[in-house]
Amino acid sequence: MSIKAFTRPFTQQEPINQEAIDAATKVLKSGRLHRYNTIENELSEAALLEEEYATYQQSKYCLACASGGYAMSVALKAAGLKLGESVLTNTFTLAPVPGAISNAGGNPIFVEITKDLILDLEDLSKKAEESGARFLLISHMRGHLVDMDQLMEIVNENNLILIEDCAHTMGAQWKDQRSGNFGLAGCFSTQTYKHLNSGEGGLLTSNDEEFMARAIIYSGSYMLYEMHGAAPSSKVFEDIRLETPNYSGRMDNLRASILRPQLKNLEKNITRWNERYQVVETALKEIKGIEVPLRYEEERYVGSSIQFRLPGINVTEAELFIKKNKELGVELKWFGNDDPIGFTSNHKSWKYVGRQQLNKSDEILSSLFDLRLPLTFSIDDCMHLSKIIIECSSEFIKH
Ligand SMILES: *Cc1c(COP(=O)(O)O)cnc(C)c1O
């Protein structure tokens, strides 16, 4: 092969900017890292982040917490999930999603996906009716939004309580509504590989005051809920404060301090991610036999990663394809493996959930490849890696 190898790491995010480093240094010098450790009328960094994220998200309330997975499990509890209840969710998602359902005492029912990597709405209707489940935890996996208008029809018809996993759709929109604002709650992650980076962290948003009051008490507020930003008024807490347990999962001021300056750059970064995404998408789409998921016109996505399929590829070929890319420095994830490798997970590896038949999704996942597009990649880098993928795919494309 004549093509030059790609040498940039796929796991390298941009450095934390100077403003965030200065803010973190200030918190460190103060020694007041705990979110409720404030002096006089000081608003903590965590409370300020909650206010600023609620404003960005256009939601009334926001809770900063320990992780995206924590936000989801607290959301399910605060929404009233009872032990052993079913929760509908996507087959194609990441381990924290069934994990959050399990942590909250629920049982996942996996709904099939389509080849555009979104929820199969026919299967959703069918399973909602058959199961009588009260909850849908939709995972906008890899940032692909389902037709939200059609989804909401099904949600309303079946009286489903909708919670959105927006780990990959922070900043995304359907028409002019932000992902996360369609149901009872939106759950976001600020783990390093998402759209804001505090190492670990989560944000939970909602417009429902009683839901949010419960979530705040669950998160471990030590009855200091009046020190929250973007929280319901204290009278909403009166009835529930003593009947809601403390499941400590707070965010600290250090993490909040580095997230606040990053939030100011989020819109700019979305444009940068999408420039990179569109370069790779355009290149791959030109090749007959490589399928890139379609996007709706109504969707404003955040292209922080890209997926494509090589329909008809078998296990041996898929492994060889990955190996060839790797030799040229391109790290692909493949969702067809029964055994989890790194973050690659498949419902078959979640053995704590009873085995479910998901033939349609299995078929799609067996030919699905995925790669991150960190902002440390230049546009030229994106063209370069596209060429490598195309070159390596030629012998595996079925005509
Ligand atoms: C990262 C991620 C989450 C939440 O992750 P945490 O590591 O718990 O913050 C949830 N859903 C998906 C699809 C994710 O990729």
User: How does DSSP assign 332-381, residue by residue?
Assistant: -EETT-SS-BTTB--GGG-TTSPP---HHHHHHHTTEEEEE--TTS-HHH
Distance CA 347, CA 169 (A): 22
Whole-structure pTM value: 0.97
Cα(90) to centroid of ligand 1, in Å? Answer: 14
Q: Indicate if ligand 1 lies below 6 Å from the C-beta of 90.
A: no
Structural domains of the chain in order of their starting residue, each with its CATH number: 18-263 (3.40.640.10), 266-393 (3.90.1150.10)
- pLDDT score of 345: 72
Cα(286) to centroid of ligand 1, in Å? Answer: 32
Cα(161) to centroid of ligand 1, in Å? Answer: 20
**226 burial via Cβ count (<10 Å: 0-12, 13-18, 19+):** exposed
Distance CA 113, CA 335 (A): 13
Distance CA 236, CA 233 (A): 6
- Measured by CA distance, the residue closest to atom 2 of ligand 1 is 167
Instruction: For 15-54, give one letter per residue: b (16+ CB within 10 A) or e.
Output: ebeeebeebbeebeeeebbebbebeeeeebbbbbbbbbbb
- Measured by CA distance, the residue closest to atom 14 of ligand 1 is 167
Other C-beta atoms lying within 10 Å of the C-beta of residue 399: 5
Phi then psi dihedrals of residue 46, to 5 deg:
-65, -45
Give residues with Cβ within 8 angstroms of 156, minimum separation 6: none
- pLDDT score of 344: 64
- pLDDT score of 19: 98
Q: Indicate if ligand 1 lies below 6 Å from the C-beta of 67.
A: yes
Strand order in the sheet with 177-178: 177-178, 173-174, 299-300
Distance CA 311, CA 289 (A): 7
Give residues with Cβ within 8 angstroms of 379, minimum separation 6: 275, 276, 279
Q: What is the DSSP string of 229-265?
A: SS---HHHHTTTTTTS-----BPPHHHHHHHHHHHHT
Q: How many whole angstroms from its chain centre is CA 138?
A: 10
Distance CA 287, CA 392 (A): 12
The C-alpha angle 137, 307, 377, rounded to 5 degrees, equals 115
**Pairing verdict, β 135-139 and 161-165:** parallel
Other C-beta atoms lying within 10 Å of the C-beta of residue 87: 27
Across the strands, what pairs with 188? 203
Could you tell me the two tokens for 395? 């012998």
Q: Which has the closest alpha carbon to 89: 97, 78, 79, 81?
A: 97
Side-chain half-sphere CA neighbours of 143 within 13 A? 26
Side-chain half-sphere CA neighbours of 302 within 13 A? 25
The residue to mutate among 193, 194, 304, having the most atoms of ligand 1 within 8 angstroms of its beta carbon, is 194
Q: Which has the closest alpha carbon to 188: 76, 49, 69?
A: 69
Q: Indicate if ligand 1 lies below 6 Å from the C-beta of 305.
A: no
Q: 């989020």: which residue's tokens? A: 266
Could you tell me the two tokens for 111? 């709904």
User: pLDDT tens string for the chain (399 positions)?
Assistant: 589 999 999 999 999 999 999 999 999 999 999 999 999 889 999 999 999 999 999 999 999 999 999 999 999 999 999 999 999 999 999 999 999 999 999 999 999 999 999 999 999 999 999 999 999 999 999 999 999 999 999 999 999 999 999 999 999 999 999 999 999 999 999 999 999 999 999 999 999 999 999 999 999 999 999 999 999 999 999 999 999 999 999 999 999 999 999 999 999 999 999 999 999 999 999 999 999 999 999 999 999 999 999 999 999 999 999 999 999 999 999 988 777 676 667 888 888 998 999 999 999 999 999 999 999 999 999 999 999 999 999 999 976
Q: Indicate if ligand 1 lies below 6 Å from the C-beta of 252.
A: no
Phi then psi dihedrals of residue 139, to 5 deg:
-110, 115
Cα(96) to centroid of ligand 1, in Å? Answer: 6
Q: Indicate if ligand 1 lies below 6 Å from the C-beta of 69.
A: yes
Q: What is the DSSP string of 103-169?
A: HTT-EEEEE-B-TTSSB-HHHHHHHHHHH---EEEEE-GGGPPP-HHHHHHHHHHTTPEEEEE-TT-
Cα(166) to centroid of ligand 1, in Å? Answer: 8
